[in-house]
Structure 1
């Protein structure tokens, strides 16, 4: 089932905010780490019919809360010794048709990251980068900060693309020092994102 959420709730009145994206003359092509990719398997169509993605075999599919009270799809790792897990979350945001042209993917990225920033201290984020993943234009950024509730240091990333009237965000975060290894795998999963082949 496709996950729907109004961007009007998430972006409010800031649809024309200045983007952090740096000018580029040519989009970079982002590709997955081939060593990590070899251990991944396709996500079944029953879990995601609107896109295709690869995941580790032992990851479990879940639905979980997304931004602004929406629901998102996630593929979650087995628990580690400290009972923490890492996941890749995919949130689909579909505004009404009359609002779709009011937003850009980099603006959505900025607002998604702003919602995380409010729950972190010592916040740092990268500049927005633009590139392509399997022919789709994405905007991405990386961040780090300290969770204001747990005091744990965390790192994460977010990728956003627009397909038709919908925006797809692929994101992950993890605690330090586990993030060094886990986020490399989560980003490899992200870079396998593609659209299903057209049916004949």
Structure 2
């Protein structure tokens, strides 16, 4: 079964995909929903609460009788201040989102926390090609470096184009591609507190 599925608590039975269950649904809030709800909450001056809902249930018809235990509980964790590494600040006039802690950890992981920052995410008119003649770089390391800024784009639309551009070269990254990625990281270093 796939991750993030609702839990079924039974006594004495093993669940088998396709035999006992065909589909399991877990009500998990995705980033798309959060990006839709927070602007509405900000516009309407609503306060967004952080709730922890614990539940285990089965939704569907069973062919045989099963003994089941349903767990349901909810606890209020106060105003939403952090969601999946995104810092949420709620003011009387709106909501701001930032990932400065995540960005700082990204820079530290790549040894660039004390680098010289730059003021643009990509050099103007930069042209990168897949068939570059520069030396190849480790693809796994390149993926790791590029994937982290891709998550930052959730609160940093100013980097969307440049991160998307360097993501095109994941299959066979070259030295000039890596230089462009490091330029993005230097931009992040100079704009840690940026957000939406």
Shorter-chain TM-score bucket reads under 0.3
Please say which structure displays the higher CA radius of gyration. Answer: 2
Return the structure number with greater strand share: 1
Relative contact order, higher structure (CA 8 A, sep 6+): 1
Return the structure number with greater helix share: 2
